[in-house]
């Protein structure tokens, strides 16, 4: 029988990779905390309506990518493909709209049935930040600034470009949608099958198409800026002005869109070419219509999500964990005493590596393998004197230390 392997599109995150993941999440959590964002978590699975209602029955995510199934109670359940809808559901379910504004940070696994590639998995991880309540441009600036500071603290901001666009207000979007439908209808025969399907339901998504024929058609498509209302223009001017004040550089990208109707005003992405091809590492935007769409009160909001796997590929090697103390018992008396000594040292804050077999040579080899800074040797002769041998594994110096003084003499190795 062949050995079992992880399912396609999943991975075992072993300790070395886990250090990178933890560095991304811990850094993001710390920076978000300085902005007043509180950490929360939503269930890994939700009723399917939580995602299908806001994301749309005919989007690729719902139609092709969501892991949806019937549970034993015949309820239709979906593994979460993204955080925002679940967080908005949680705000509604828990009556939190009485406490606006709300700032939430979250981190955890997501699930989408996609073609696995570098930095993209079917089970992947995201960090997420949502600012719910404020309808002013200053909130958009804060959200982008938070993402900027996290990328800067991770040491990857210099490898990223912030792309920025406005999706306007409702009137702007309706006018633009009409113009897009008119334009693409004139090129219908040359559009890809997916884009012809989107033409009726979600024409803005055609602008995202990766089909080469669609890309050529998109070159001549009308620009959103031509259909912005004065109010939408003023909102975007204030967002750009706030970013300029903070010294946050950006590049306007009129093709940066969000196809769903509840998105409005600011859309942004931090993109990089450091992963072999241009890819988004952090992206988001304003979604003022989502809360109402999900059955809650009409509430403004803006947020973003970032891929942990992609960011983990970009960051510098995180520092190694603190070096342990190796406990080396020799003989039955040493074995018996080692369990108690290890427990006491761990209680005092030391990292202790205790092997359970092997002679002195093999145990020292293990101590070197785990990068131990010191070894505490518990032999019969030392124990008869109420002592242990303490060896500095960097210098080779070895001294005898009374067991009652062991914690104090180990202090330099903590």
283-303: pLDDT as tens digits: 999 999 899 999 999 999 999
Domain span including residue 267: 15-169+229-314
Looking at the structure, tell me whether residues 51 and 142 fall in a common domain: yes
The whole-number average pLDDT for the span 52-72 is: 74
Residues 70 and 112 in one domain: yes
Residue 303 lies in a domain: yes
Same-domain check for residues 29 and 154: yes
Indicate whether 242 and 158 sit together in one domain: yes
Is the same domain home to 331 and 310? no
Separation between Cα atoms, residue 53 and residue 78, nearest integer Å: 12
Q: Is residue 150 a contact partner of residue 32, using CB atoms and an 8 Å limit?
A: yes
CATH number at residue 381: 3.40.50.800
pLDDT at 62: 56
The C-alpha atoms of residue 81 and residue 86 are separated, in whole angstroms, by 10
Pair (338, 307) in one structural domain: no
| pLDDT tens, position by position, 180-199 | 888 988 888 888 888 888 88
- The verdict on 54 and 83 lying in the same domain is yes
Residue 234 and residue 330 in one domain: no
Q: What's the confidence (pLDDT) of residue 61?
A: 62
Residue 95: CB atoms within 10 Å:
9
pLDDT of 212: 87
Q: Mean pLDDT of all residues in the chain?
A: 91
Rounded (10°) angle between helices 15-34 and 137-154:
140
**Is 401 contained in some domain?**
yes
Q: How confident is the model at residue 259 (pLDDT cuts 50, 70, 90)?
A: low
Window from 50-54, 147-151, 369-373 with minimum mean pLDDT = 50-54
* 274 and 409 belong to one structural domain: no
Within a 10 A sphere around the Cβ of 411, how many other Cβ atoms? 10
**Those residues with Cβ within 8 angstroms of residue 389's Cβ, 6 or more apart along the chain or in another chain:** 376, 377, 378, 379, 382, 398, 399, 400, 401
For residue 209, tell me if it sits in a domain. Answer: no
The residue from 282, 314, 346 where one domain ends is: 314
Residue 359 has pLDDT above 90, yes or no: no
Closest CA to 302 of 246, 253, 262: 262
Average pLDDT of 33-48? 97
In whole angstroms, give the CA distance from residue 114 to residue 121.
Answer: 7
For 286, the 3-state DSSP assignment is strand
In a domain, 385, yes or no: yes
Cβ atoms of 184 and 195 within 8 Å: the answer is yes
Domain stops at, among 271, 291, 314: 314
Q: What percent of the chain has pLDDT over 90?
A: 69
202 belongs to a structural domain = no
CA angle 364, 368, 371 (to 5 degrees): 140
Please give the C-alpha separations between residue 5 and each of 112, 120, 276, in angstroms, as whole numbers. 19, 18, 27
Instruction: Examine residue 84 and state whether it is found in any structural domain, yes or no.
Output: yes
For residues 262 and 249, the model is more confident at 249
Closest CA to 281 of 161, 403, 138: 161
Res. 58: pLDDT tops 60: no
Q: Which of 151-165, 190-204, 260-274, 361-375 has the lowest mean pLDDT?
A: 190-204
pTM of the model: 0.89
Look at the chain and report how many structural domains it folds into. 2
Q: How far apart are CA 364 and CA 279, in angstroms?
A: 46
Residue 147 pLDDT: 98
* pLDDT average, residue stretch 318-345: 93
For β-strands 45-47 and 374-378, DSSP reports them as unpaired
31 and 139 fall within a common domain: yes
User: What's the chain's Rg over C-alpha atoms?
Assistant: 28
Q: 203 in helix, strand or coil? A: helix
Query: Using an 8 Å Cβ cutoff, are 127 and 25 in contact?
Result: yes
Residues 343 and 302 in one domain: no
Last residue of a domain, one of 290, 314, 338: 314
Q: Cα(261)–Cα(144) distance, rounded to whole angstroms?
A: 21
What is the distance between the alpha carbons of residues 165 and 247, in angstroms, rounded to a whole number? Answer: 18
Q: Looking at the predicted structure, is the pLDDT value of residue 106 above 80? A: yes
State yes or no: pLDDT of 390 exceeds 90.
yes
- pLDDT reported for residue 277: 66
CATH number of the domain where residue 282 is located: 3.30.930.10
pLDDT level of residue 118 (50, 70, 90 thresholds) = low
CB-based burial label for 375 (10 Å; 0-12, 13-18, 19+): buried
> What is the C-alpha separation between 77 and 72, in angstroms, rounded?
10
Kindly state the average pLDDT of the residues 113-119: 74
Tell whether 223 is covered by a domain.
no
Enumerate the β-bridge partners of residue 104.
38, 130
User: In terms of domains, do 357 and 397 share one?
Assistant: yes
Q: Answer whether residue 299 is part of any domain.
A: yes
pLDDT in tens, 213-258: 888 988 888 888 889 999 999 999 999 999 999 999 999 998 888 7
Report the C-alpha gap between 100 and 88 in whole angstroms.
13
């Amino acid at each position: 029988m062949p050995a079992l392997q992880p399912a396609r599109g999943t991975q075992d995150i072993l300790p070395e990779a886990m250090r990178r993941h933890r560095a991304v999440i811990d850094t993001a959590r710390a920076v978000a905390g300085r902005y007043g964002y509180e950490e929360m978590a939503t269930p890994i699975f939700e009723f399917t309506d939580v995602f299908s209602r806001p994301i749309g029955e005919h989007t690729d995510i719902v139609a092709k990518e969501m892991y949806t199934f019937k549970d034993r109670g015949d309820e239709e359940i979906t593994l979460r493909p993204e955080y925002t809808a679940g967080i908005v559901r949680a705000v509604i379910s828990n009556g939190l709209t009485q406490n606006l504004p709300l700032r939430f940070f979250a981190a955890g696994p997501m699930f989408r049935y996609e073609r696995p590639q570098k930095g993209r998995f079917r089970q992947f991880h995201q960090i997420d930040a949502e600012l719910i309540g404020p309808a002013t441009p200053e909130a958009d600036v804060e959200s982008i600034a938070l993402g900027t500071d996290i990328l800067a603290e991770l040491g990857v901001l210099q490898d990223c470009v912030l792309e920025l666009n406005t999706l306007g207000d409702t009137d702007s979007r309706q006018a633009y949608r009409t113009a897009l439908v008119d334009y693409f209808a004139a090129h219908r025969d040359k559009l890809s099958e997916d884009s012809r399907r989107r033409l009726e339901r979600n024409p803005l998504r055609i602008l995202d198409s990766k089909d080469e024929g669609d890309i050529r058609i998109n070159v001549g498509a009308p620009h959103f800026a031509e259909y912005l209302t004065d109010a939408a223009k003023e909102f975007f001017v204030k967002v750009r002005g706030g970013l300029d004040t903070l010294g946050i550089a950006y590049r306007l990208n009129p093709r940066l869109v969000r196809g769903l109707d509840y998105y409005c005003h600011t859309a942004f992405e931090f993109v990089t070419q450091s992963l072999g091809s241009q890819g988004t590492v952090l992206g988001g935007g304003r979604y003022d219509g989502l809360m109402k769409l999900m059955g809650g009160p009409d509430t403004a909001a803006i947020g973003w999500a970032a891929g942990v796997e992609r960011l983990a590929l970009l960051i510098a090697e995180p520092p190694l964990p603190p070096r342990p103390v190796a406990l080396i018992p020799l003989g039955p008396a040493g074995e018996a005493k080692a369990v108690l000594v290890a427990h006491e040292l761990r209680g005092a804050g030391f990292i202790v590596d205790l092997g359970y077999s092997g002679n002195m040579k093999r145990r020292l080899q293990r101590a070197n393998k785990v990068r131990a800074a010191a070894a505490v040797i518990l032999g019969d002769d030392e124990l008869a004197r109420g002592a242990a041998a303490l060896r500095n594994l960097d210098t080779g110096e070895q001294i005898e230390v009374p067991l009652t003084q062991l914690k104090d003499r180990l202090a330099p190795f903590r």
